[in-house]
Structure 1
Amino acid sequence: MADGRARALWERYEPVHDLVYFAPEAHRAADALGLRGFWMGYFALRAAPLGAVSPSVVTSCFHVFHPSRVARALPDAWAYAAPADVLAARLEAMDAALTRVAGADAVGSAAFAQAADLAWEAAAAADTTGRVLAAANQALGRPERPAARLWQAVTTLREHRGDSHVAVLVGLGLGPVEAMVLKAAAGESDGAFLRETRKWPARDWAAAEERLRADGRLAADGSLTPAGAALRARTEALTDAAAERPWTALGAERTERLAALLEPLAHAVRESGLLPAANPVGLTRRTLPVGR
């Protein structure tokens, strides 16, 4: 979408979705289920819509994690909590977290209910062909409470965009480590943070850097060459294009209305201090237009 609408909406719904990783309500929910440690909670809470799938399926869907990182959490998590129980717990936790962060008055307002309904309509319109995480989330029932409904809707939209991004990376021949090296070189995230949290050995990271240097995408100092910057820009442009459908289905006027409604929620999450500075998705705050 030439006017940047898909990216502008992503900047507004991504922080709301990210509460599931960093809000204390999510951590307490994982602990109550018997899930052990941050990563078991992360993988179970995010993968639960898929059912009790194997580590290899999650490694494939999530794309950037070393298989050993996933295997330390799954399938053990499913022995502690069934996916259906995890789904119920995460929705309850996100309802509470969003209510706390945004404020009960805001969550109870007509504007918030409108945001939830618009986001749900956009998510329902997403084309989930070849997008496994998006399809699994889209198939979940419609929550009655507005905060839960909004969070689940933006999660479907987020996974739709994420699945699209993975498809773009695969199509461009970029593996998980190369993709992260390019992200870090573009200044969107910290390379050491990405490597360590995704559990890639230093030798694999160095090998990816060397391949990108040999291809003329990475300079000797670790910065992007013009060819590397062009590849990174193409990756993002193709991702934006693949994420257009929910917004074309919703229409320009209602998309702009949803963006305006999401803006204060996204701001509240950012100001809450819950999201780490080294955001792994590379979310940076830009002022992007929604309309023309």
Structure 2
Amino acid sequence: MAGGTARAMWERYEPVHDLVYFAPEARRTADALGMRGFWMGYFALRAAPLGAVSPPVVASSFYVFHPARVARALPDAWGHAAPRDVLAARWEAMDAAMTRLFGPDVVGSAELAEAADLAWEAAAAADMPGRVLAAANQALERPERPTVRLWQALTTLREHRGDGHVAVLVGLGVGPVEAMVLKAAAGESDGPFLRETRKWEPEDWAAAEAALRERGFVREDGSLTRAGVAARAFIETRTDEAAERPWTALGAERTARLAGLLEPLARTVEDAGLLPPGNPVGLTRQRFAGR
């Protein structure tokens, strides 16, 4: 696969995983649980596999959010619904979202069941030392419904990749705001959108830009220097390399089969317009157009 197996697979499973953030079923589910506003639902739905954890744990593992943004949602969310109830609700929401988007014929097909089993096998083979979010998701029971089994497996793989990405950033001394500045400078996300949704002040963003200028990574206009392009490429390459284990375990032939099964699902999510422009996960229309 061009660009490496781990990256190619990420481009195919990330849109399906992202339904938990952008599908209306997810918001309705969070509201029904008593969550107050989008962000309380976001943190509860994503952090639920960890249990009723405190804000500092979530801020650390999610990495790019201001601790105050997390503290506005947690631990209050656990007073509205216990993590086990949130987990059950998010699976129901994802089943409903996938059924609506892909259609009952697709979600009831042998192909989707095959994709779910292949993805579950890959996720079960993922290496977990040092990967807290991924390990918490991997430890969940195997869902019976293929839709939920597929979504949960892809979520484990996504958090596995994300945990590895954070480890690379920490190893290079790239802090949370600096990581977002680099992402925006590379054209993968919208800078103001990242800063505002992650609840950082303009002063925090300016300080991160200044630190990256001092390292020679960005110019005064906010664009990447040659050194910044190289640093960004190194971060992404190391992230890809750290995410290869599940695909090595699954094998080239079955990984390619899963990629083919996921491709139409990813395109359906993209065509539905659920992923906002400048979205924080870095999926761009160019990525889809290039496949």
Q: TM-score range by the shorter chain?
A: over 0.9
Alignment of 1:200-279 (within 5 A): 200-279=200-279
Q: How far apart in 1 are the matches of 2:38 and 2:278?
A: 17
1:4 aligned partner? 4
Q: How far apart in 2 are the matches of 1:120 and 1:287?
A: 24
Q: How far apart in 1 are the matches of 2:24 and 2:281?
A: 20
1:19 aligned partner? 19
Classify the secondary structure of the residue corresponding to 2:142: coil
Q: How far apart in 1 are the matches of 2:94 and 2:6?
A: 24
* Shift, 1:286, TM fit: 2.4
Q: Structure 2 counterpart of 1:31, which letter?
A: D
Q: How far apart in 2 are the matches of 1:259 and 1:289?
A: 15
Classify the secondary structure of the residue corresponding to 2:11: helix
Percent identical among aligned pairs is 78
Alignment of 1:86-101 (within 5 A): 86-101=86-101
Classify the secondary structure of the residue corresponding to 1:47: helix
2:172 aligned partner? 172
Q: Structure 2 counterpart of 1:161, which letter?
A: R
* Shift, 1:3, TM fit: 5.3
Indicate conservation of the 8 Å contact 1:189/1:280, yes or no. Answer: yes
1:73 aligned partner? 73
Q: How far apart in 2 are the matches of 1:142 and 1:11?
A: 24
Seen in structure 2, the aligned counterparts of structure 1 residues 252 and 266 have a Cα distance that, compared at 3 Å, is: same
Q: Alpha-carbon deviations, 1:251-272, whole Å to 9, x = none? A: 0000000000000000011111
* Shift, 1:277, TM fit: 1.3
2:191 aligned partner? 191
Q: Structure 2 counterpart of 1:251, which letter?
A: G
Q: Structure 1 counterpart of 2:219, which letter?
A: A
Seen in structure 2, the aligned counterparts of structure 1 residues 117 and 288 have a Cα distance that, compared at 3 Å, is: farther
Q: How far apart in 2 are the matches of 1:287 and 1:17?
A: 16
Superposition RMSD in Å? 1.4
Indicate conservation of the 8 Å contact 2:127/2:245, yes or no. Answer: yes
* Larger RCO (CA within 8 A; separation ≥ 6): 1
Classify the secondary structure of the residue corresponding to 1:10: helix
Classify the secondary structure of the residue corresponding to 1:182: helix
Scaled by the length of structure 2, the TM-score of the pair is 0.97
Query: Which consecutive segments of 4 or more residues in structure 1 shift more than 3 A?
Result: 287-290
Greater Cα offset, 281-290 or 91-100: 281-290
Q: How far apart in 1 are the matches of 2:274 and 2:6?
A: 25
Indicate conservation of the 8 Å contact 1:5/1:289, yes or no. Answer: no
Q: Structure 2 counterpart of 1:101, which letter?
A: L
In structure 1, list runs of 5 or more residues that go unmatched.
none
1:54 aligned partner? 54
Q: How far apart in 1 are the matches of 2:12 and 2:214?
A: 37
Seen in structure 2, the aligned counterparts of structure 1 residues 170 and 143 have a Cα distance that, compared at 3 Å, is: same
Scaled by the length of structure 1, the TM-score of the pair is 0.97
Q: How many residues matched?
A: 290
Indicate conservation of the 8 Å contact 1:115/1:150, yes or no. Answer: yes
Q: Alpha-carbon deviations, 1:98-125, whole Å to 9, x = none? A: 1111111011111111000000000000
* Shift, 1:287, TM fit: 6.1
Q: Alpha-carbon deviations, 1:155-193, whole Å to 9, x = none? A: 000000000000000001000000000000011101000
Q: Structure 2 counterpart of 1:234, which letter?
A: F
Q: How far apart in 2 are the matches of 1:155 and 1:194?
A: 21
In structure 2, list runs of 5 or more residues that go unmatched.
none
Greater Cα offset, 237-246 or 266-275: 266-275
Q: How far apart in 2 are the matches of 1:97 and 1:128?
A: 29
Classify the secondary structure of the residue corresponding to 1:187: coil
Q: Alpha-carbon deviations, 1:13-50, whole Å to 9, x = none? A: 00000000111111111011000000000000000000
Q: Structure 1 counterpart of 2:149, which letter?
A: R
2:287 aligned partner? 286
Does residue 1:135 correspond to 2:135, yes or no? Answer: yes
Indicate conservation of the 8 Å contact 1:131/1:163, yes or no. Answer: yes
